Amino acid sequence: MDLKYMFFAQHSQLIYQFFSFPIALLYYSLARQRCLSLTSRYIYLMLGGCVLAVVTMGPYCWLVFVPAVASALLVHTACPLQIHAWVFGTQMCWQSFWHLFIQYNEYWLQEPTDNRLLLAVSSLMLLTQRVTSVSMDLQEGKLTPQPSGMENPGSTTPMLYYLSYTLYFPALLGGPLCSFHRFVSFVEQSTVSPPPQPLYVVCWKASLVLGLEWVKYLLVDLIEHHSIGLAHLSAVQGILWVWALSLAFRLSYYSHWALSECLNNAAGLGFRGYTGTGIPQWDGLSDGDPWSLETCSRLSVFARRWNGTTAAWLRRLVFQRCRTAPLLMTFVFSAWWHGLHPGQVLGFLIWGATVKADYCIHCCIFPLLTTPWKQLVYKCLSWMHTQLVIACVVVAVELRSACFMWLFCRTYISAFIAFLYILLLFICYKNTPANE
């Protein structure tokens, strides 16, 4: 397994986003100086996304353009009460077709997938978030009263605003999900009451990205030099190897989130006012803080904080709308949305089951922790267990092939996780009031 290639083959996405910074800063400068009208700002953001899609995805850019235009037509023609079913159905069918095509290419034909296609499908997944967010807003009537400068919601929503939202370049290749209403507010704010100069926060977050990438490079190099094969590792070595590999993957997520958030800030998006001491706050669009995630001691809390805007979208799209086993269905849909590779299905099922178990175990054990030292010990053990479970989930999702999953399931760490949760669930079940 060439770990360096696996981790750094997708760096083209980071490079493309870095090269988008001048375009974002130019947009902020022109909008702040009132050199762009409201319509011109929407056109600028949309054309920037179109150009970026053509440059990064090449001939596969139409994978994003077709559903963007199709969803815009649906928004303008379908009834607001029925719009979500149409948008959700067509978008997921289109996305699933390309996910299955990639699996056919990788597992049946045994051919490497073009990185441009992978980039297009990744952008398509983000597009699914945005178009379904709008369709749910329309269905629930949340676009009324409409933002200033807009016409009536539903079928009369200006197509330019919608296309700009679905294709705007700061969120094309990655980034936190921004609702349509907030997007319109951010665009209008750049002229009415422009946010402060974002250059300082952009430089700070860009340096954070470089630092995360440097730490990841050192960690991957360490893993490669001490790897003797997963099947031949001892129990402790296997646990440490899987945890370190998972940490390297998580560092990749953190750097991508920070860079996407930074690119949005460069365009003036994500500003949410000042603190009591007058410090500007640029965290209005954020997917998570690495420190708060890595110190989390509850699996359920980790699941809510991980990729925060996507977690909120999944909660709204599936969890709050599903009447039967909403937690399980949320993780099942997440596996579907990610591509339904064997490792992804296994990883998200493990995650869903452990989150459910976390609720039961915490409700059963926490009332017994009557002293501070017991609570501290429980928190430390819970943090260690959260790290192990997340390590299994992340490695399974990222190393998604069936052959690796079979090897992974034979290791000590997978057996340990399964045994521990079966034991804890059995103890908690026996101690619930209904079974006394």
Q: Which CA distances in Å does 297 have to 74, 147, 302, 327, 341?
A: 44, 40, 8, 20, 28
Q: How far is 120 from 186, CA to CA, in rounded Å? A: 26
Report the pLDDT value the prediction gives residue 395, as an integer from 0 to 100. Answer: 87
Report the pLDDT value the prediction gives residue 8, as an integer from 0 to 100. Answer: 58
Helix (H, G, I), strand (E, B) or coil at 280: strand
- Closest to 379 measured CA to CA, from 366, 394, 390, 392: 366
Q: How many CB atoms lie within 10 A of CB 186?
A: 21
Report the pLDDT value the prediction gives residue 232, as an integer from 0 to 100. Answer: 63
Question: Residue ranges of the domains in the chain?
Answer: 36-192, 199-435
pLDDT tens, N- to C-terminus, the chain (436 residues): 456 555 655 677 888 888 899 999 999 999 888 888 888 999 999 999 999 999 999 999 999 999 999 999 988 887 888 899 999 999 999 999 999 999 998 888 888 888 899 999 999 999 999 999 999 999 888 875 344 444 444 434 478 899 999 999 999 998 799 999 999 988 887 666 778 888 899 999 999 999 999 999 888 888 877 665 555 666 677 778 888 889 999 999 999 999 999 999 999 898 888 887 888 888 888 898 899 999 998 888 999 999 999 999 999 999 999 988 899 999 999 999 999 888 899 889 889 888 888 887 777 777 777 788 888 888 888 898 889 889 888 988 888 776 666 666 666 566 566 566 666 666 555 555 444 3
Q: How far is 118 from 319, CA to CA, in rounded Å? A: 28
pTM of this structure: 0.89
Terminal-to-terminal C-alpha distance of the chain: 51
Q: For residue 383, count CB atoms less than 10 angstroms from its CB and return exposed for 0-12, middle for 13-18, buried for 19 or more.
A: middle
Buried b vs exposed e over 288-325: b needs ≥16 C-beta within 10 Å?
bebeebeebbbbbbbbebbbbbbbebbeebbeeeeeee
- Closest to 265 measured CA to CA, from 278, 280, 254, 252: 280
Q: Which amino acid is at 181?
A: H
Report the pLDDT value the prediction gives residue 370, as an integer from 0 to 100. Answer: 77
Report the pLDDT value the prediction gives residue 343, as an integer from 0 to 100. Answer: 87
Could you tell me the two tokens for 399?
């190393």
* Alpha-helical regions (H) of 58-82: 62-77
Q: List the catalytic residues.
A: 307, 338
- Closest to 343 measured CA to CA, from 275, 390, 402: 402
Report the pLDDT value the prediction gives residue 435, as an integer from 0 to 100. Answer: 40
